[in-house]
C-alpha cells in the first residue's frame, strides 16, 4: 500500500479502486422533503438513494414512516441515474411474492435502477402488530430463493418449511436481467453466510475497518465454497457480491462542530446496537433498546432512551464506527474503509432536517469529489 501526503494527511488515493459508490439513506421525513432530497442528491453526484423499510420511524418525538417501495417508485419518475434501494426490507411484513412484485415494479418504472435490500427484521416493525418472525434466517433464506425464482422462472412450484407456492408466476419480470440485485444485511456469521450464498451485495451496519476487512474475507471464502467465483487470490478477483456498508456520517466545516452535532444522535443509535459499546470495552447501561429483538417505540420508551443515552461517555462516540469531522477527517476515515474492501457506502447523515441539504452538498463537493478525482 503506497501513501503520499496531501495537506499533511496520509492518503491512499494512488491505490484507490476505480469504482466507489456513495449512497444517501433518507430519514423518515414527509414525502415532499424526501422527494426534494432525492432530486438534490442526484444533482450533487450521489450514486444511490435508499429508504428504510419501516412501519415505524426511529425517533424520539415523531415516528412517521412512509411505505418504502411506494416512495422509491415515485422517486424513480423524478430521477434519472440514482440507484434506488431499501436498507432493508424484511420477509415477514411482505410475503416473498409481494416483495418480489414491489421491487420488480420499481425496477420497471426506474428502467433498471432498483436494489432489493433484505434483512431479518426489527422488533419495532413487527412486535406491536403481532407479526410472527420465528427462525428469521431460515425463513429469509427460503424467501430469497422464492423471490429469485419468481423473477427468473415462468412458473414456480415450491413446498418449503415456511412457504408453499403452486403454479405461481410473476409478470412482468424485472427490467434488470437476470433479476434485481439483492443486498443482504448481516453482521453475524449466519446472516453473512446467507449474503455469501444468496446475495448480490453485502451491507452490514456500523463496523470498524479492521472488522469489516476480516468479515469480508470470510464472506468471500464462504462464497467461494458455494461456487461463487473467488479463488482467494485477493481483492482483484472477488465474487460477484458488492461489498457495501451502512454507516452514519456527520460532516461539517470543522471537527468540533461535527462532534457537537453527532454526540446525542450517536448515543441514541449506539444504545440500539449494544454490541458496539461492548466491543469498545464500555459498560452497556441496558440491552432493552436493542434494535433487532427489543426496541419498540412509544413516548415512554423514547423518554427512557433519551435519559439512558446521557449515561454513555462521549469517548464511546469518538471510538465508535460512526464517521464524523471535517471533510479531511471524513475522507481519512472513508479511505480506511475502502482499504478494508468497502465499495458502496450507504449513509444517513446524523443532522437535523434544516442542515441536510447543506450537509449533502459539503459531502459531495469534498468527499465524493475527492474519491472521483483522477478516476
Q: pLDDT tens across 157-210, in order?
A: 999 999 999 999 999 999 999 999 999 999 999 999 999 999 999 999 999 999
H-helix segments, the chain: 31-44, 68-76, 96-109, 123-126, 136-152, 189-198, 209-225, 255-272, 274-279, 299-309, 314-319, 327-340, 356-362, 369-372
Task: Name the helix (H) or strand (E) containing 250.
Answer: strand 249-251
On the CB side of 85, CA atoms within 13 Å amount to 29
Give the integer Cα–Cα distance in Å for 66 and 242: 27
CA distances from 172 to 109, 149, 153 (A): 12, 13, 11
Domain ranges of the chain: 4-261+322-372
Question: Under CATH, which number does the domain 4-261+322-372 receive?
Answer: 3.20.20.30
Tell which phi-psi region holds residue 181, choosing left (phi > 0), alpha (psi between -120 and 50) or beta. beta
Contact of 276 with 321, CB cutoff 8 Å: yes
List, for residues 219-259, the tens digit of each pLDDT value: 999 998 888 865 555 545 555 899 999 999 999 999 999 99
Look up residue 313 and give its DSSP letter.
-
Contact of 360 with 349, CB cutoff 8 Å: yes
Enter the pTM of the model: 0.92
More confident residue, 19 or 18: 19
Contact of 103 with 65, CB cutoff 8 Å: no
Give the integer Cα–Cα distance in Å for 207 and 187: 9
List, for residues 331-362, the tens digit of each pLDDT value: 999 999 999 999 999 999 999 999 999 999 99
Grouping H, G, I as helix, E, B as strand and the rest as coil, residue 140 is helix
Q: What is the mean pLDDT of the chain?
A: 91
Q: Strand 344-347 vs strand 21-25: parallel, antiparallel, or unpaired?
A: parallel
Which cell goes with 375?
478516476
List, for residues 262-286, the tens digit of each pLDDT value: 999 999 999 999 999 999 999 999 9
What value, to the nearest 5°, has the Cα angle with vertex 150 and ends 146 and 155?
Answer: 110
Task: Name the helix (H) or strand (E) containing 201.
Answer: strand 201-202
CA distances from 217 to 17, 235, 241 (A): 17, 9, 12
17 confidence band (pLDDT: 50, 70, 90): low
Grouping H, G, I as helix, E, B as strand and the rest as coil, residue 230 is coil
Question: What's residue 167's pLDDT?
Answer: 98
Amino acid at each position: 500500500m503506497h501513501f503520499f501526503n496531501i495537506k499533511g494527511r496520509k492518503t491512499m488515493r494512488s491505490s484507490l479502486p476505480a469504482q466507489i459508490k456513495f449512497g444517501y439513506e433518507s430519514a423518515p421525513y414527509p414525502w415532499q422533503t424526501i422527494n426534494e432530497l432525492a432530486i438534490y442528491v442526484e444533482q450533487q453526484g450521489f450514486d444511490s438513494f435508499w429508504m428504510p423499510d419501516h412501519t415505524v420511524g426511529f425517533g424520539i418525538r415523531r415516528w412517521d414512516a412512509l411505505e418504502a417501495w411506494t416512495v422509491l417508485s415515485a422517486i424513480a419518475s423524478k430521477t434519472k441515474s440514482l440507484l434506488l434501494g431499501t436498507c432493508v426490507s424484511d420477509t415477514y411484513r411482505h410475503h416473498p411474492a409481494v416483495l418480489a412484485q414491489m421491487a420488480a415494479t420499481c425496477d420497471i418504472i426506474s428502467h433498471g435502477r432498483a436494489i432489493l435490500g433484505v434483512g431479518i427484521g426489527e422488533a419495532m416493525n413487527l412486535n406491536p402488530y403481532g407479526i410472527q418472525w420465528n427462525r428469521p434466517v431460515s425463513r429469509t433464506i427460503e424467501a430469497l430463493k422464492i423471490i429469485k425464482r419468481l423473477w427468473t422462472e415462468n412458473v414456480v412450484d415450491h413446498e418449503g418449511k415456511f412457504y408453499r407456492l403452486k403454479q405461481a408466476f410473476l409478470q412482468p419480470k424485472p427490467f434488470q436481467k437476470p433479476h434485481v440485485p439483492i443486498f443482504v444485511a448481516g453482521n453475524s456469521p449466519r446472516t453473512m453466510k446467507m449474503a455469501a450464498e444468496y446475495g448480490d451485495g453485502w451491507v452490514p451496519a456500523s463496523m470498524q475497518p479492521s472488522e469489516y476487512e476480516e468479515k469480508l474475507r470470510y464472506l468471500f471464502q464462504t462464497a467461494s465454497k458455494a461456487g461463487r467465483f473467488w479463488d482467494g487470490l485477493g481483492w482483484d478477483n472477488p465474487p460477484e457480491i458488492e461489498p457495501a456498508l451502512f454507516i452514519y456520517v456527520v460532516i461539517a466545516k470543522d471537527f468540533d462542530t461535527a462532534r457537537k452535532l453527532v454526540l446525542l444522535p450517536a448515543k441514541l443509535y449506539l444504545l440500539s446496537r449494544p454490541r458496539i459499546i461492548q466491543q469498545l470495552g464500555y459498560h452497556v447501561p441496558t440491552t432493552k433498546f436493542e434494535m433487532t429483538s427489543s426496541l419498540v417505540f412509544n413516548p415512554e420508551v423514547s423518554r427512557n432512551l433519551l435519559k439512558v443515552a446521557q449515561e454513555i461517555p462521549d469517548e464511546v462516540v469518538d471510538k465508535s464506527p460512526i464517521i464524523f469531522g471535517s471533510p479531511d477527517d471524513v475522507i481519512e476515515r472513508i479511505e480506511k474503509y475502502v482499504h478494508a474492501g468497502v465499495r458502496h457506502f450507504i449513509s444517513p447523515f446524523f443532522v437535523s432536517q434544516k442542515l441536510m441539504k447543506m450537509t449533502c452538498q459539503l459531502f459531495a463537493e469534498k468527499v465524493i469529489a475527492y474519491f472521483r478525482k483522477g478516476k
